[in-house]
A and B are shown apart, each in its own frame.
Chain A
Amino acid sequence: MVTEVESRIGVVAPPVIERQTLTIERVFREHFDHVYRIVGRLLGPSASSLDVDDLTQQVFVAVNRALPGFRGESTVSTWLYGIASNVVLTHLRGFRRQRRLRRELDLAAATPEHARSPEQAYAEKQELVLVWKRLLSVKPDKRIVYVLYEIEGLSGAEIAVALGVPQATVFTRLHHARREVAKALLPLQRGRLP
């Protein structure tokens, strides 16, 4: 049975050059840390490591199933970005999940006793919390583009291939996400001009 995630993966084009030697073991060995980091960043710092573990596992299960159809029309890492994004996007569809992530971020900000060095960490964390809090309220499809572009450093063209959307759509989503994040951070930036 084709799952929703797999059907979404179908829009992503797979590789030719590495196709012959590409096995799930190799993909896992070479890209595990990378995939884990992407999933963790797409979910944000309020996600538990258990959720990141689960979704990373889902990504590799999906990779394993999609591997035979991998045609090499993009790099492996771009292909993985697409799969990871789709898995996370499907996961985040639930409004409750998103609300939970935001709530946990609030809790993280309000409970400094769990931070490494509470008083100091609390102050240091405020900026990060503010950024992610705003990001978690951005719609998941826009947030994913934002994370891939701003945090992971992919180009618009790479994101377009990974997500299977036109490049113009990537930049539109990026623009909206940037606007929302900037709006939230602007009060902090007054007097701190570049």
Chain B
Amino acid sequence: MTCAQLDRALLLESEQISGEQARVLFEHAAGCADCGGVLAAIRTARSAGRAHLPVAALAARARILAAVEGGGDPGIFQRWRGPLLVFAGAAAAVAIVEVSTVSPKTEVVAVPQQAAPIEATRETKTTANAIANTIAVAGGTAVLGKEAIAELVPDSELTALSLSSGELTIELEAGRAIEVITAGARVKVIGGRTVIAHRGAKTEVQVVSGTAKAWPKGSLTPKVIVAGETGAIIKVEEREAPKPRAPNLDAALKEAKAALITDAPRAAVLAEKVLDTVPKTTQQEAEALVILADAERRRGRLDASAELYAKVAAHPRGRSFAEEALLQRALILAKTDQSDAVLATLAIAAEQFPRGATAPERAALAAEMYLAKKEPLRAAEEIERAASFGRSLKLLEKRVEVARALLAQDAAAHRARAHSLLEALLDPSTPQALRIDAETLLKK
């Protein structure tokens, strides 16, 4: 950088320089590689910075409000970061009393990572015990039956529980949903009151009010259970107890994962080796499947990869990868022009992870599929529905495309809807190029 005007070029597009001075400097920058580069860099940095749009998860929002209202000292009110085990049927736990007094309004049972399991009794009707016997979940509560063993799924934002054995009564506000995962099924409870029990070889789902959907182990198709269906039973195969992780396989998995970036074929071979020896239905098996699916995708074996992603999504221990796996499967299917299969996969993902991290990208992909099918109105619906999922660059770009398609199909009939899509892009935080596109279309 040698131009004498460089330092002044850094003042462009700020309040520090305007009018004639700015005009002269802009003209100079247009013909000067150094100053023009600086100006372009300022714009690129601004655009890249604005593309980062952090959005809070609903559960995080509720948790923060509870902490603030409770006079929460952020140093004491810690969200849990590891598995939280709650056992019913034993002695009352002092740890619960201590935590509950910190922020009694929240009824969130919080323990530091690596804490010992919390034990609580159901018989004594004290507040502390009521809390100990109840797990706060997003939009409601889960009450453990006698001798039930349940675990909040880490990083699920209070929307998923793992039920190892016993009975769990879920009560949710209308329209809210959480998942309960047992050894044999994944059950999605949607509003109302549902009792789920897992004993021995079967999982029972009893819907008192609301709805539940249950995916038997290995299935992508749910069984729908409505209120009043009190005896719906999903039988599952007798399952072995969870096996501990094999340290040698952890090392192999790490090696396979490291090879993914530079040598996908080798990563695939290593992952296959792990799959040959790893115990079935373990976390390690799920991880190996993910690596193999990624490796196959990277080496261009798309069909095999799509199939593997489906296996990951249906794996009993694959929940933490399932949302991403379903999106990857949909993206692969989109590459091979299977739009109906893409939409079906996206529908499954939306069912299982309605407000998941990939929701904006799923909406953008669904809109793209509908645009390809010449159905801009359906595409618009997808974009409109995604408005509450947060913003992503792809979704913003898709707004422009959908609005353009609506106007092209029938400008008179769809103008209002197209404009509504575009107006959301006039926000100053929208990347400049998109905002200009939106403004241009709005003038039409």
Interface residues of A (CB under 8 A from B): 24-25, 28, 32-33, 36-37, 39-41, 44-45, 49-50, 52-54, 56-58, 60-61, 64, 110-113, 116-119, 127-128, 130-132, 135, 147, 149-153, 155-156, 171, 174-175, 178-179, 181-186, 188-190, 192-194
Contacts and interface: CB of A to CB of B under 8 A. Distances in A.
Contact of B56 (A36, A182, A186, A194): A36
A37 B72 contact: no
Given A113-B261, A116-B361, A127 B52 contact: no
Contact of A58 (B53, B74, B429): B74
A194 B74 contact: no
Nearest to B46: A150
Contact of A41 (B34, B38, B52, B72): B52
The 5 closest A-B pairs by CB, nearest first: A40-B54, A193-B36, A185-B41, A151-B49, A182-B41
B39 A128 contact: no
Contacts, number: 168
Contacts of A117: 328, 331
A41 B49 contact: yes
A45 B38 CA distance: 23
Nearest to B295: A113
12 contacts: A52-B54, A61-B74, A118-B294, A128-B48, A171-B14, A171-B15, A186-B1, A186-B37, A189-B37, A190-B37, A192-B40, A193-B40
Given A49-B60, A128-B52, A153-B429, A190 B33 contact: yes
A83 to B, nearest CB: 13
Interface of B: 1, 7, 10-11, 14-16, 29-30, 33-34, 36-46, 48-57, 60-61, 63-65, 67-69, 71-74, 77, 79, 81, 257, 260-261, 294, 297-298, 324, 327-328, 331, 358, 361, 428-429
B358 A194 contact: no
Nearest to A116: B361
A102 B257 CA distance: 22
A24 B257 contact: no
B65 A171 contact: no
Contact of A33 (B37, B55, B361): B55
Most B CB within 10 A of own CB, among A40, A152, A185, A188: A185
Contacts of A113: 257, 260-261, 294
A50 B428 CA distance: 27
A193 B42 contact: no
B41 A186 contact: yes
Contact of B65 (A28, A54, A116, A178): A28
Contacts of A111: 261
Given A149-B14, A175-B10, 19 more contacts: A24-B69, A32-B65, A33-B56, A49-B56, A50-B81, A53-B64, A57-B77, A58-B74, A60-B65, A132-B48, A132-B52, A153-B428, A156-B16, A175-B11, A178-B10, A179-B10, A182-B38, A194-B40, A194-B43
